């Protein structure tokens, strides 16, 4: 299972932070689980300002994330799922979304939580979606990672 060896991140106080959640619409059941997990983690951290922005698919995540990061958001969480099919489309979408989200983070100097599932089957996606019976909650994990990264960045700039 992909979650083996994952670090246990400390609970971070997100009071006063604005964290945008950018979520794709493909594979509604999986996406609903990822979004719910992200929203639970944000609420647990005390983040009250967490706009949810929906885009058509994973390929559109970077441009929406860029606008959120260039705006008033402290960080962005990008959620999506791409399930391998019979054509190279999977490879292009995964590469484009991954590279685009990396560029957003580096160009804006704001953390982007990577909650993009790239899986072979719908069953693998459901196992990571944070639904009842899922082994993992990648939506919540993306929030935890973005908050921990934001805390690390802020500590670098503190005297």
DSSP of the chain: -TTTT---PPP---TT-BEEEEEE-SSHHHHHHHHHHHHHHHHHTT--B--EEEESSGGGHHHHHHHHHHTT-SEEEEEEEEE--SSTHHHHHHHHHHHHHHHHHHHHT--EEEEEEEESSHHHHHHHBT-TT-S-BHHHHHHHHHHHHHHHHHHHT--
Tens digit of each residue's pLDDT (9 = 90 or more) over 4-30: 666 666 778 899 999 999 999 999 999
Tens digit of each residue's pLDDT (9 = 90 or more) over 130-145: 899 999 999 999 999 9
The question of whether 27 is a catalytic residue gets the answer: no
Identify the band that residue 87 occupies on the pLDDT scale cut at 50, 70 and 90.
confident
Domains contained in the chain, CATH given: 19-156 (3.40.50.960)
């Amino acid at each position: 299972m992909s979650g083996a060896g994952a670090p246990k991140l400390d609970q971070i106080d997100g009071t006063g932070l604005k964290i945008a959640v950018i979520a794709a619409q493909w594979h509604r059941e999986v996406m609903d689980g990822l979004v719910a997990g992200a929203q639970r983690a944000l609420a647990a951290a005390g983040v009250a300002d967490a706009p949810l922005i929906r885009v058509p698919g994973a390929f559109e995540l970077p441009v929406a994330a860029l606008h959120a990061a260039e705006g008033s958001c402290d960080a962005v969480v990008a959620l999506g799922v791409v399930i391998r099919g019979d054509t190279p489309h999977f490879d292009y979408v995964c590469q484009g979304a991954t590279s685009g989200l990396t560029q957003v983070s580096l160009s804006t100097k704001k953390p982007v939580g990577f909650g993009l599932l790239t899986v072979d089957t719908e069953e693998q996606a459901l196992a990571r979606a944070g639904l009842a019976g899922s082994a993992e909650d990648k939506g919540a994990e993306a929030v935890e990672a973005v908050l921990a990264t934001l805390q690390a960045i802020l500590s670098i700039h503190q005297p």
